[in-house]
Chains A and B, each alone.
Chain A
Amino acid sequence: MNATSLETLPLAVRDLNVAYQSKVVVWDADFDAPAGKLVAIVGPNGAGKSTLLKASLDLIPAASGSVRFFGLPYRKARHRVAYVPQRESVDWDFPVSAVEVVAMGLYRRLGWCMPVRHKHREMARAALVKVGLGDFATRQISQLSGGQQQRVFLARALAQDADLYLMDEPFASVDAATERAIVEVLRELRARGKTVVCVHHDLPTVPEYFDHVALLNMRVVAQGPVAEIFTTENLRKTYGARLTLLEEAAQAVERARVAAQHRS
Chain B
Amino acid sequence: MARVLVGVKRVIDYAVKIRVKPDKSGVVTDGVKHGLNPFDEIAIEEAVRLKEKKIASEVIAVSCGISQAQESLRTALAMGADRAVHVEVPQAQYDTLLPLHVSKMLARVAVDEKADIIIVGKQAIDDDSNQTAQMTAALLGWPQATFASEVTVADGNVLVKREVDGGLETVKVKLPAVISADLRLNEPRYATLPNIMKAKKKPIKKLTAADVDVDLAPRQQVLSVEDPPIRQAGSVVPDVDTLITKLKEKGHL
On whether the two chains bind one another, the answer is: no
Residues of A in contact with B (beta carbons under 8 Å apart): none
